[in-house]
Every structure is written in structure tokens, then in C-alpha cells.
Amino acid sequence: MGVLGYSQAELHEIQSKWKLRFPPDLVELMRKQRPILGSRGFDWLTATDVEIQRKLDRPYEGFLFDVRKNDLWWPEWGEKPQSDAAQAARLMEVFAEAPKLIPLNANRYLPESPMERGNPVFSVQQSDVIYYGSNLSDWLTREARQFGDWTGLPAITAKEIPFWSEVVRRNE
């Protein structure tokens, strides 16, 4: 028998505590299996608060690293401030406007909005963001492949997600 999923009460508590909203297909998946990818997956109930916060902060922290070390700054963000603190504050404003990312596993994330089925899965490594699945089902299929061998799988076509899809385009 497989690993039991999260209860509805557990999912409600996780979302409330971390100020997240899980899209319906993620809720459905999490109700079936915990953690999503079996023993190598991320588990909201066994991870410490520090580990969870680190996963939630990772996309912002990665972008901030690239702002400071790799000269990342988009013209839409305005003139790049001189101080590290001002750069961090402006980047925080940019991230506050972007859909929050829900950690799935390693550096894979699902945007919490739109609050509907079929959001793409992103791989986020600093500002290097790519699609890793057209949706949760596609992502699970791709994760099951050894060493990223996606031979025979269709190209990833994904719905537009504000900010995150733009990052993908800028990385192509």
C-alpha cells in the first residue's frame, strides 16, 4: 500500500501557517500521496519550520544573489539602487507582486495563482528559471525519467504566469 496523503485538516493548517493557497490539483495530489515524490520528496509535516522557510525564501534569495553578484537588474524595476539594502527592498516589492511559489521538491515550484488546475511547474535555480512541467501530471512524468531524459515526451507548453513566465522567456 502507498503512503497515505495529507488530511484536509493538515492541508488547511499548512496553508494557514505559511500563508499559502494550494491550487485544486495540488490539493488532490497531496491528498493521495505524502510526500508527493515518495521518499525523495518534500514533506510539509516532517520538515522543520526552518527548512520550510528556507524553501519558501529560496527563489527570492537566489534572485538577490544574482542582483548582487551577477549584475541582474531588469529595466522595469527602475534604476538600480546603490545600496544592498535598497536593492533587496526593491526586489522584495517585485516578488510581492509575483505569484507565490509553493515548494514541491528540491528546486521545483508550483505557482499558487491562478487558483486553478494546470499551473506549470518551474525549476528555480537563482534567476535561472525554466518550465519543468506543463502541469503537475506532466512534471511527475518528467521527474520519473532518469537524469532528465525527456526523449519522446512532448515539448512543455505552459500557461502564462505573471513574472515567472517572463523570467523563463528571458532565460531562453
Residue 1's pLDDT is what? Answer: 39
Residue 155's pLDDT is what? Answer: 86
Residue 149's pLDDT is what? Answer: 79
CA torsion sign, 15 to 53 to 166 to 90?
A: positive
146-165: b (≥16 Cβ within 10 Å) or e: eeeeeeeeeebebeebeebb
Residue pLDDT tens, the chain, 172 long? 345 899 999 999 999 999 999 999 999 999 999 988 877 788 999 999 999 999 999 999 999 999 999 999 999 999 999 999 999 999 999 999 999 999 999 899 999 999 999 999 999 999 999 999 999 999 999 988 877 677 888 889 999 999 999 999 999 8
